[in-house]
Amino acid sequence: NAGVTQTPKFRVLKTGQSMTLLCAQDMNHEYMYWYRQDPGMGLRLIHYSVGEGTTAKGEVPDGYNVSRLKKQNFLLGLESAAPSQTSVYFCASSYSLDISYNEQFFGPGTRLTVL
């Protein structure tokens, strides 16, 4: 049981390049999330998904796109990377019971630098 895994762990991009971050979970969770963490800012929600084939915007969605084609995978795409997207990206997942609360399980993070 690997939990939540993220690929890659590190990446350096040049401005304007594109890339996709992959998140996978093996806990059969319905909900998945992408966050970014910047110094002094805590974690901010980029996009999230409440099930296969669904996505929704979070707090800071601009410049990012996501897809949830399979329940276990949640992809985060940067079409044209900008230096402001230099950050550590965390994926998380949780159970789907919206009438109660379930903790989110986080992946180890992807450190992205955009030059």
Partner 1 sequence: DQQVKQNSPSLSVQEGRISILNCDYTNSMFDYFLWYKKYPAEGPTFLISISSIKDKNEDGRFTVFLNKSAKHLSLHIVPSQPGDSAVYFCAASFVGTASKLTFGTGTRLQVTL
- Give yes or no for residue 98 binding partner 1 (CB under 8 A): yes
Q: Which of 45, 72, 73, 77 binds partner 1 (CB under 8 A)?
A: 45
**Size of interface with partner 1, in residues (CB under 8 A):** 29
* Residue of the chain from 58, 61, 63, 77 that contacts partner 1 (CB under 8 A): 58
- Cα 81 to Cα 8, 15, 91: the distances in Å are 16, 5, 19
Only segment of 13-21, 41-49, 68-76, 79-87 that touches partner 1 (CB under 8 A): 41-49
Q: Which of 17, 20, 22, 43 binds partner 1 (CB under 8 A)?
A: 43
Q: Determine if 104 is a binding residue for partner 1 (CB under 8 A).
A: yes
Asked if residue 21 lies in contact with residue 32, where contact means CB atoms within 8 angstroms, the answer is no
Residues 6+ positions from 75 with CB-CB distance below 8 Å:
20, 21, 22, 23, 66, 67, 68, 69
SS3 81: coil
Interface with partner 1 (CB under 8 A): 4, 31, 33, 35, 40-45, 48, 50, 56, 58-59, 90, 92, 94, 98-99, 101-109
